[in-house]
Every structure is written in structure tokens, then in C-alpha cells.
Amino acid sequence: DSGVTQTPKHLITATGQRVTLRCSPRSGDLSVYWYQQSLDQGLQFLIQYYNGEERAKGNILERFSAQQFPDLHSELNLSSLELGDSALYFCASSVMPGKGYNEQFFGPGTRLTVL
Amino acid sequence: TQLLEQSPQFLSIQEGENLTVYCNSSSVFSSLQWYRQEPGEGPVLLVTVVTGGEVKKLKRLTFQFGDARKDSSLHITAAQPGDTGLYLCAGVIQGAQKLVFGQGTRLTINP
């Protein structure tokens, strides 16, 4: 158990819909990262937050947005969903950017299926 | 263009055999990590290497960081079915703070 929690575990929805994925980082970690992993593919970095502020952006679509709240939990919002958005979405946390060699601890993921 | 290239992408061997997975880049990394991911679960950090030439052992797994800190290898001795999974290398490019991931090596150990 990494200490990172993600909800829900599974999500099935239809094209055009909007969903919200939730992540709670490990106790003491200030930085949260979101990744997308499609079938049989590696991890694609989406976005990073540190202590409530956006820190870095990766290959995140404009239809996707995220935020980190004062209690440090984070939400990833996916809108106007398309079939190709079906994937595993992982949240990871670390102490802070650049500290501890940026070792990231991953949650169990949310499996999103868009029908 | 992938900053970290892993090879092979797929590897299927028999229980008891040895294997090596490689992670290569043209960039210098201040640190490099190896993760293992099982189906339907999140990646789990195995090891972090930070010094050029560093070797770390984790039971039957041996991790090495290249002298120039541009590459790394993971060697598994006497592979077991429980070693099956996706192995990901990830590194922090020197001077940056972003962690970049390789595309992974999918390892299958057959009983």
C-alpha cells in the first residue's frame, strides 16, 4: 500500500459525458501528479500540482483539467469524453519537486471505460 | 521521441533463466528509478540510483546506473513467475525537476 488513494476504482460512462477522478496523496506529500496509461502502453504524464499550484503540464488535452485543494487532495476532470479516453488514470505523489530524487508513489488507479 | 528508451519491449522466458532489461538515453540524469507494475495496479518503486556506476541489489534483482548517468540496467537472476510484470524506468533529467518515464518492458516468466 503506497498510501495514495484514488476513487473510484472503476468508472463506466458514455461518450460526451464528464467525470471527476479523485486522489488523496500520501500523508506529508505536497506534490501530486496525474498520468494516463492506455492499454499496453507506458505512462503519459498529464499534469503536476504542488501545494495547490500547477507546476508542470504534459500531454493534457484541453478537455481535461485538474486542481489541488487546500487539503492537498486533487481532482482530475475529464469532459466531452471520447472512446479514446478509455484508459487507466493514475495519481502519484511525492514530498516535493526536486526533493528525495522526485520518487513518486502511485495510487491504485481509476479504470475509465467510455462506451 | 522517447527520452528514455527501454529494451526489449517484450520478454518472455522460462522460470530459472536470467535476464537483463536496458534503459538508455542521450540525456544525463541526476537520478533514475525503476518501477514494477502488475496488471490493474499502480507502479511500485523498486529502487533509485543516483551515482554514476552505482549498483544496487534487491534480492535477485541487480540495478546499475551507467558511469555517465545516461543509462541503466536491471538484471534478474533465476527469474520467478512472480517477477512477471511491466518494468518501467524513470529519470530526472539533470537540471530539471520533471520525471520522465520509459515505455516499459513487459516481462513474462513462464513456469
Res. A83: pLDDT tops 90 = yes
Res. A81: pLDDT tops 90 = yes
For B9-26, what is each residue's pLDDT tens digit?
Answer: 999 999 999 999 999 999
Residue A102 near residue B99, CB atoms below 8 Å:
yes
For B36-61, what is each residue's pLDDT tens digit?
Answer: 999 888 999 999 999 999 999 999 99
- Cβ–Cβ below 8 Å for A45 and B101: yes
- Cβ–Cβ below 8 Å for B97 and A98: yes
Task: Please tell me the distance in Å from A109's CA to the nearest CA on chain B.
Answer: 6
Mean pLDDT of B62-83: 96
Q: Is B11 on the interface with A (CB under 8 A)?
A: no
Average predicted confidence (pLDDT) for chain B: 92
- Cβ–Cβ below 8 Å for B100 and A107: no
For A94-110, what is each residue's pLDDT tens digit?
Answer: 886 555 567 889 999 99
Strand (E) positions, chain A? 5-7, 10-13, 19-24, 31-37, 44-50, 53-57, 64-68, 74-78, 87-94, 105-106, 110-114
For A2-51, what is each residue's pLDDT tens digit?
Answer: 899 999 999 999 999 999 999 999 998 999 999 999 876 678 889 999 99
Res. B65: pLDDT tops 60 = yes
Q: Is B104 on the interface with A (CB under 8 A)?
A: yes
pLDDT band at B94 (very low <50, low <70, confident <90, very high): confident
Q: Which residue has the higher pLDDT, B99 or B27?
A: B27
- Cβ–Cβ below 8 Å for A42 and B40: no
Res. B101: pLDDT tops 60 = yes
Q: Which residue has the cell 520525471?
A: B99
Percent of chain B with pLDDT over 90: 81
CA distance to B22, B48, B50, B107, B110, per residue, from B88 (Å): 10, 12, 17, 11, 20
- Cβ–Cβ below 8 Å for A42 and B48: no
pLDDT number for residue A9: 96
DSSP B2: -
pLDDT number for residue A100: 53
Of residues A43, A101, A108, nearest to B101 (C-beta): A43
Task: Please tell me the distance in Å from B89's CA to the nearest CA on chain A.
Answer: 10
- Between CA B30 and CA A37 the distance in angstroms is 25
Res. A62: pLDDT tops 70 = yes
Average predicted confidence (pLDDT) for chain A: 91
